[in-house]
């Protein structure tokens, strides 16, 4: 009994009313999750293959997403029919509507006219018929929605009434007359559907009756309790903390939960930004009270990188050396703890976010490896420690809101991401202390000027790369033959695709002047105007 209580207390879905979203592979599935959370309701996205009997929580309602499949395709995914026996409301979106129809004996035909883009939904009301009208309560009689489908419903299943039509879809929205089952052909989750969020809110709060208590304020207290239950009164936790927003927010939560039994390690790998280790140590240790040790292994990293030019080899060397240093630190702390009569470290803190979880359980399967990114965080999972991931259910903007509430300074919360292998993948070719120094100084000036121009928050990520080419220049009447700095700045939501940032020329001019004047070894600055894809954000 005691044990099952503990297990329950360690799942977020047991602490909040939870909406289950089943993902059939639509490109908008995670947007549904975002919108529902914006309504203050907690929800989780699981693959459509989820067996309802194996669910480890009882949802307040279920949403079936859209899909790139046609419902009659061979191999098209199908929902576990037990979803209709849960006794909770179900909302099908596009393919989800077609799933409902198929399960309930309706017919789905191939539409003669594809409907893609804006459409006007005519809401059909049924005065006195409460179930049917709940979904569009407070929604205008004619409202703009966004469509993206080829298949459509030929005939609604028995027991369903029409609650919305468009000129091309006679059954654009249907509802069961007695049970709370709804299907809509349009996508309420995309911002093009004018009243989409209102419709989702009607469903999750008005129809499912979910408590709208999901906020970062309430998350803090519950998460701290959850961590305490997991770790127990004596357990010790170690964490690799880079000073990036994810690991910092996770560290602050951990410190609030278990105080000094949490040890943070910042590894100085010799390829951090200018003054980075000192700044992070100062902020985390002195201002946020976190027990953080900086392990200076810069010589070790740089000696191992000597002569290496291949980007993937650099990542591997850094990843492996990182583990070595981290394990040695864990060992050192264990010895210290022994002397203090404390337990050995049993837990490893990780800053994993919800998008990583979604990607790894995605119905679409894992994507191809272009760069072995998670070589730092990822490899730590091989350690024989239990993982603890307080941000596992959160999106990045939720993590930032949480960080703010936890009193983390704004400049840390809004910091551009910085890759684990750091400047080593921004010095193209061989990484030597001299080359790192040039890249580091140029990067510092670049970021400083971006901040001076008030552009830092508009840009998702910016850095300076040092190219292994020399070009001729003239400085003070002397011929120079020096290296090139490439400036990169991108705007992106998810870092999967990105556009280069359009700087005012005056800002670029100032940056270029300062770098050439102040950084020895550089006589030329270029701006990278490539989008991702086909380029990537980092040069290596
Ligand atoms: N120099 C470092 N010292 C300690 N841990 C590190 C270091 N570099 C990376 N890590 C670990 O690797 C993880 C992954 O790094 P990553 O850069 O993806 O995330 P982050 O640094 O937390 O946040 P951000 O994406 O904002 O940089 C970090 O969360 C941290 O646990
Ligand atoms: O922790 C990391 N280890 C890595 O090896 C790595 N390589 C790229 N990045 C970061 O990932 C995002 C996308 O970068 P790319 O477009 O270059 O793949 C950008 O934010 C990059 O900074 C890394 N992060
Ligand atoms: N967006 C969707 O869910 C589309 C469903 C299905 N592929 C169709 O074309 O109708
Ligand atoms: Mg980082």
Q: What's the pLDDT score for residue 93? A: 98
* Nearest ligand, CA 540: 2
**Nearest ligand to residue 280 Cα:** 1
Q: Give yes or no: 94 in active site.
A: yes
Q: Which of 24, 115, 116, 149 to mutate to test the pocket of ligand 3 (most atoms within 8 A of CB)?
A: 149
Question: What is the distance in A from the centroid of ligand 1 to the CA of 60?
Answer: 36
Ligand 2 atom at shortest distance from the alpha carbon of 461? 20
Q: What is the pLDDT of residue 1?
A: 32
Q: Are the CB atoms for 537 and 497 separated by under 8 Å?
A: no
Gap between the Cα atoms of 496 and 490, Å rounded = 11
- Residue 337 pLDDT: 87
Distance 372 CA to ligand 2 centre (A): 9
Of 171, 201, 166, give the one whose Cα is nearest residue 183. 171
* Closest among 345, 348, 308, 320 to 429, alpha carbons compared: 308
Ligand 2, CB within 6 Å, residue ranges: 315, 371, 373, 375-376, 417, 419-421, 461, 495, 532, 536-538
- The reply to whether ligand 3 has any atom less than 6 angstroms from the CB of 76 is no
Measured between alpha carbons, how far is 227 from 232 in angstroms, rounded to an integer? Answer: 8
Distances from the Cα of 95 to the Cαs of 68, 108, 260, 339, 536, in angstroms? 8, 10, 51, 61, 33
Which ligand is located closest to the Cα atom of residue 70? 3
Closest residue CA from atom 14 of ligand 2 = 537
**Given ligand 3 and candidates 69, 94, 115, which is best to mutate, with the most ligand atoms within 8 Å of its CB?**
94
Return the closest-CA partner of residue 157 out of 186, 130, 177, 137. 177
- Kindly list the protein residues that place their beta carbon closer than 5 angstroms to ligand 4, a single-atom ion: 242, 244, 418
Query: For 124-271, where are the E strands, in sequence order?
Result: 142-155, 160-165, 173-176, 181-184, 236-240, 262-268
- Nearest CA residue ID for atom 9, ligand 2: 419
Residue 427 is classified by DSSP as B
Spacing, Cα 313 to ligand 4 middle (Å): 19
Q: Which of 44, 115, 189, 393 is catalytic?
A: 189
Q: Which is the closest atom of ligand 3 to the Cα of 96?
A: 3
In this structure, are strands 461-475 and 478-491 parallel, antiparallel, or unpaired?
A: antiparallel
Give the pLDDT score at 493: 84
Cα 530 to middle of ligand 3, angstroms: 33
The tens-digit pLDDT sequence of the chain (540 residues) is 334 444 445 688 999 999 999 999 998 898 999 999 999 999 999 999 999 999 999 999 999 999 999 988 888 999 999 999 999 999 999 999 999 999 998 887 767 678 889 999 999 999 888 888 999 999 999 999 999 999 988 889 999 999 999 998 899 999 999 999 999 999 999 989 999 999 999 999 999 999 999 999 999 999 999 999 999 999 999 999 999 999 999 999 999 999 999 999 999 999 999 999 999 999 999 999 999 999 999 999 999 999 999 999 999 999 999 999 999 999 999 999 888 888 899 999 999 898 888 877 776 655 566 777 755 666 677 778 899 999 999 999 999 999 999 999 998 999 999 999 999 999 999 999 999 999 999 999 999 999 999 999 999 999 999 999 999 999 888 999 999 999 999 999 888 889 999 999 999 999 999 999 999 999 999 999 999 999 999 999
101 lines ligand 3 (CB under 6 A): no
Q: Which atom of ligand 3 is nearest to the CA of 111?
A: 10
Active site residue 520: no
Residue 413's SS3 state is helix
Cβ-contact 416, 410 below 8 angstroms: no
Residues 391-394: contacts with CB under 8 Å, at least 24 apart? 391/246, 391/249, 391/250, 391/351, 391/352, 391/353, 391/354, 392/352, 392/353, 392/354, 392/357, 393/12, 393/42, 393/44, 393/354, 393/357, 394/219, 394/353, 394/354
The Å distance, Cα 416 to ligand 4 centre, comes to 9
Question: Would you say 489 and 503 are in contact if contact means Cβ atoms under 8 Å apart?
Answer: yes
Q: Ligand 1 in contact with 399 (CB < 6 A)? A: no
In order, the DSSP letters of 40-100 are: T-EEEEEETT--GGG-SS--SEEEE---SS-TTSTT-----GGGGGS-S-EEEETHHHHHH
Q: Please check whether residue 259 is in contact with residue 230, taking contact to mean a CB–CB distance below 8 angstroms.
A: no
Are 287 and 418 contacting, i.e. CB atoms less than 8 angstroms apart?
no
- Residue 70 Cβ inside 6 Å of ligand 3? The answer reads yes
Q: Is 32 in the pocket of ligand 3 (CB under 6 A)?
A: no
Q: Which class for 368: exposed (0-12), middle (13-18), buried (19 or more C-beta within 10 A)?
A: exposed
Q: How many CB atoms lie within 10 A of CB 49?
A: 13
Please report the atom of ligand 2 found closest to the CA of residue 538: 17
Nearest ligand, CA of residue 99?
3
In contact, 183 and 91? CB cutoff 8 Å: yes
Q: Which atom of ligand 1 lies nearest, measured to the CA of 350?
A: 31
Ligand 3 pocket, residue 403 CB under 6 Å:
no
The SS3 of residue 117 is strand
Ligand 3 close to Cβ of residue 149 (< 6 A):
yes
How far apart (Å, rounded) are the C-alpha atoms in residues 135 and 361? 30
Separation of alpha carbons 367 and 48, rounded Å: 18
d(CA 465, CA 485): 6
**What's the CA-to-centroid distance between 147 and ligand 4, angstroms?**
38
What ipTM score was computed for the predicted complex, to two decimals? 0.92
- With DSSP H G I counted as helix, E B as strand and the rest as coil, what are the percentages for the chain, rounded to 5? 40, 25, 40
What is the rounded CA–CA span in Å between residue 450 and residue 459?
Answer: 9
CA of residue 126 relative to chain centroid, distance: 41
Q: Give the phi and the psi of residue 290 in degrees, each rounded to 5.
A: -90, 140
Whether 54 is a known active-site residue: answer no
The pLDDT value recorded for residue 50 is 94
Cβ atoms of 405 and 220 closer than 8 Å: yes
Q: For residue 539, which atom of ligand 2 is closest to its CA?
A: 17
Q: Which member of 30, 149, 176, 187 is catalytic?
A: 187
- For residue 183, give the ligand nearest its CA: 3
């Amino acid at each position: 009994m005691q044990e099952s209580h503990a297990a329950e207390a360690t799942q977020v879905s047991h602490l909040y009313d939870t909406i289950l979203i089943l993902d059939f592979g639509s490109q908008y599935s995670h947007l549904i999750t975002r919108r529902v959370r914006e309504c203050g309701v907690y929800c989780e996205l699981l693959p459509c293959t989820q067996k309802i009997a194996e669910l480890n929580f009882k949802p307040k309602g279920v949403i079936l997403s859209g899909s790139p499949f046609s419902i009659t395709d061979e191999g098209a995914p199908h929902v576990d029919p037990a979803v209709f026996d849960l006794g909770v409301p179900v909302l099908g979106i596009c393919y989800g509507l077609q799933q409902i129809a198929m399960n309930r004996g309706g017919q789905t035909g191939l539409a003669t006219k594809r409907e893609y883009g804006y459409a006007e939904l005519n809401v059909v009301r049924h005065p006195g018929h409460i179930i049917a009208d709940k979904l569009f309560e407070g929604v205008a009689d004619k409202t703009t929605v966004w469509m993206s489908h080829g298949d459509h419903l030929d005939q609604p299943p028995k027991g369903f009434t029409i609650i919305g039509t468009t000129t091309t879809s006679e059954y654009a929205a249907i509802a069961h007359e007695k049970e709370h089952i709804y299907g809509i052909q349009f996508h309420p989750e995309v911002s093009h559907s004018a009243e989409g969020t209102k419709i989702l809110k009607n469903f999750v709060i008005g129809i499912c009756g979910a408590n709208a208590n999901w906020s970062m304020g309430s998350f803090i207290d519950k998460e701290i309790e959850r961590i305490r239950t997991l770790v127990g009164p004596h357990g010790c936790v170690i964490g690799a903390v880079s000073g990036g927003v994810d690991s910092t927010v996770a560290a602050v939560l951990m410190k609030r939960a278990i105080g000094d039994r949490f040890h943070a390690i910042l590894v100085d790998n010799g390829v951090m930004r200018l003054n980075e280790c000192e700044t992070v140590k100062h902020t985390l240790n002195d201002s946020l009270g976190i027990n953080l040790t900086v392990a200076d292994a810069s010589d070790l990293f740089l000696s191992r990188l000597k002569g290496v030019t291949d980007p993937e080899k650099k990542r591997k060397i850094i990843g492996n050396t990182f583990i070595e240093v981290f394990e040695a630190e864990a060992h050192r702390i264990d010895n210290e703890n022994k002397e203090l009569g404390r337990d050995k470290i049993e837990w490893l803190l990780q800053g994993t976010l919800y998008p990583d979880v979604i990607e790894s359980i995605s119905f679409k399967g894992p994507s191809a490896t272009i760069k072995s990114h998670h070589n730092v965080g990822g490899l730590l999972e091989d350690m024989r420690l239990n993982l603890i991931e307080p941000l596992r259910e959160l999106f990045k903007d939720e993590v930032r809101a949480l960080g703010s509430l936890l009193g983390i300074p704004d400049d840390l919360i809004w910091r551009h991401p910085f890759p684990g292998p750091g400047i080593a993948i921004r010095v193209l070719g061989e990484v030597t202390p001299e080359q790192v120094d040039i890249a580091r100084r140029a990067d510092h000036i670049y970021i400083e000027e971006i901040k001076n121009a008030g552009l830092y928050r508009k840009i998702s990520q910016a850095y300076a790369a040092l190219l292994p080419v020399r070009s001729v220049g003239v400085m003070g009447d002397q011929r120079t033959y020096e290296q090139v700095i490439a400036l990169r700045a991108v705007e992106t939501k998810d870092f999967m695709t990105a556009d280069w940032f359009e700087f005012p020329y005056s800002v670029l001019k100032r940056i270029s002047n300062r770098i050439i004047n102040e950084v020895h070894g550089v006589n030329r600055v270029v701006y990278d105007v490539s989008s991702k894809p086909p380029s990537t954000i980092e040069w290596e």
